[in-house]
Structure 1
């Protein structure tokens, strides 16, 4: 019965959603809206995708954890779009029957910073996002959304609140002394981050990301060892062979108590 429900729900979630009106998938599992935002002093456009979830449902962060489905965006149908930067708000940690997942309940406002190819000209945003949504079961969802972004726009307090909820940078959090040991394994490398207890504070979970979407990252295992928090993940390239790893691209995010901390780059011990 659960398998049948999952299949029917997956079909329902594949209905495209257009922005501008408040679109919704059948069953009201997830609704999507583009917030048009404003033009920044740098000439970029700060917009946002707002996802509203049915009570009890959640969706996932860019690194979703053991059983989550990572979100995937396709911007190729857009016009006058040179670059997109996603500013993820600090996520929550969920314990799903002993499995750790990372994401958002009820609502996700995801700020989207758009760099136009032709500054000053309208941006025709036409995008598709594949993501996972989960209640007692987890299913894939596919949403399509469009928006024309032109003019100066207006500052939106909803987007501004989401930007303020982003993880702190290492400098903002006063974090220093984080190092990463990189050891070869048969099909890639193993990264072990050592985070001083003073830097981790009350945060109990760290997530390691390679900074390259083509490199697969295992679930990060986190443990306390003396006065440090140790986080370990295996990184495997498409070739499945040992590889050179850019330490500057490594990303370590500390999650747990209060706001998250986003550490870009990880030097050797």
Structure 2
């Protein structure tokens, strides 16, 4: 579908979409992975990370390709400066050069795509089609336990959404088998939210745990009262060719990493 100015970049051919969101109609969305861009090396090839050390011209082209896939011009793709916070902002116009420091973006403006960048953390797309409100949230363990999902729903409600109608879909995220954390971190999370305890399994030693971040995100969405919460079932760490992973990069000792984007736009 087309919105405002006609996109001129090549659309991304390989995009993961959710049947739960696609079935609502009147909107476009996508969980964009590594394929379909112009970057190379450790950023190959659809790196959209403005904060990475990749060639800015290549990042710009990659973002333009994402925008074209959503049917919008490049300047109609709004992504915030993410800081692992519980902050959700409502946007009516493109950010331009002044982007807010936040981890969720909500809009009711047709033709304005909202998105978040990830490289293991959970990208969640939200939609209340009846109210005409969509959102994107970045939920790592800090954001998920700190309330970013609930803050997103509250911001959507201020725009006229009703959470019992909201469809929420979690995109590719690091999964429990590949997400080792310290026992102290697990205890801190469980102390703040006793409902989180079941999402930490024993690790290779007494000091380690295996963390089910997707499970925690889905639990909190369901507990918050959304109409539907689902996970696309893809692990960012386990599929090197498909998704960027901060943890994979760290294990390899690489100097930087690419970021993928999840985005949604009303028609």
**Larger RCO of the pair (alpha carbons < 8 Å, separation 6+):** 2
Pairwise TM-score range, normalised by the shorter structure: under 0.3
Max Rg structure: 1
* Structure having the larger proportion of residues in helix: 2
* Structure having the larger proportion of residues in strand: 1
Q: TM-score, normalised by structure 1?
A: 0.25
Q: TM-score, normalised by structure 2?
A: 0.25
